[in-house]
Copies of this chain bind each other. A is one copy, B any other.
């Protein structure tokens, strides 16, 4: 943090600011200038809140000079982190499967279909966050068991969501990757809890989360010692209503410069429309994301949730062909 004093700040104002910095346990470094003075702060472990100084006299502006994140930063770790052996560096991973686990039969068909088409991970929600308490809420532990059977049958590792700190241990027993959903991106208790269990974590960006908040949420997990964190861009909320969400693909190249963690794209939730998923999946590969998560359902017309955005197995196989062709052009390995 650099504190710029006003041109007409008095010596007493300056000393009060320095005293405040010392009270907070840090060191003030006076930087004299031609027309006004700045004060650099050192000794702080993490970034400081400019608000801490907002009410003092004589301050023109408090300028944060370093990014607020630390462990997830590329400055700290310049090399790409490879998560779950599949996402990051030149490796492009594909997660596919239905939105919700509905039955043994549905998961069985879906799992075989996505495996045959070349997916690396199987997804399916056993605990479902739903806007309405009257919507289907998932099969819970029964759903986890069905997922485990599908893994046994196909060899595909499974990705599934956890919504409650009390369920982390249960879900971690079944899942290969734990998903923290968009609505829980700033459920800080959950972030700490998934940071303390042994499996990799996939963190979805919140609907109104800035890139900075997204990285800070990842920092909560990594701070627990867990570096296996996969980020997922799934669309943000804007004024546009003809698409379910607005995919923020422009954030991907920026995030890749800011952090060593891999980031994948979820065009199914991002667009909410199966007809737009193939185009957005191709775009994700072309721009250099680290993977895709795509909803595939054996019979989208009868899906209990998110039918309109789910691909049929045939459509998914076609998309896989397209993205492999683009991957070879941009030097990614699928």
Identify the A interface with B (CB < 8 A).
2, 4, 20, 23, 29-36, 38, 40, 45-47, 49, 51-52, 54-56, 60-61, 63, 65, 68, 70, 129-135, 163-167, 183-184, 186-190, 206-208, 210-213, 216, 219-220, 223, 235-243, 245-254, 257, 267, 270-271, 273, 275-276, 279-280, 282-288, 300-308, 322, 325-326, 329-330
Instruction: Please determine whether A60 and B65 come into contact, CB atoms closer than 8 angstroms.
Output: yes
Inter-chain contact B250/A129, CB cutoff 8 Å: no
Q: Take A54-B307, A239-B237 as given contacts and tell me if A249 and B283 are in contact as well, using a CB distance cutoff of 8 Å.
A: yes
Question: Are A254's CB and B273's CB within 8 A?
Answer: yes
Write 23 A-B pairs (CB below 8 A) sorted by A numbering: A31-B36, A32-B32, A46-B132, A47-B134, A55-B300, A55-B307, A60-B65, A63-B63, A131-B186, A131-B213, A132-B216, A163-B187, A183-B186, A183-B187, A184-B187, A242-B254, A250-B267, A257-B275, A282-B288, A283-B286, A286-B286, A286-B287, A326-B330
- Shortest Cβ gap from A272 to chain B (Å): 9
A-B pairs with lowest CB-CB distance, top 7: A46-B134, A208-B208, A31-B33, A55-B301, A286-B286, A164-B189, A283-B283
A250 CA / B284 CA spacing, docked (Å): 11
Stoichiometry (number of copies): 4
Smallest CB separation, A137 vs chain B (Å):
8
Given the interface contacts A287-B280, A287-B283, does A250 sit within 8 Å of B250 by beta carbon?
no
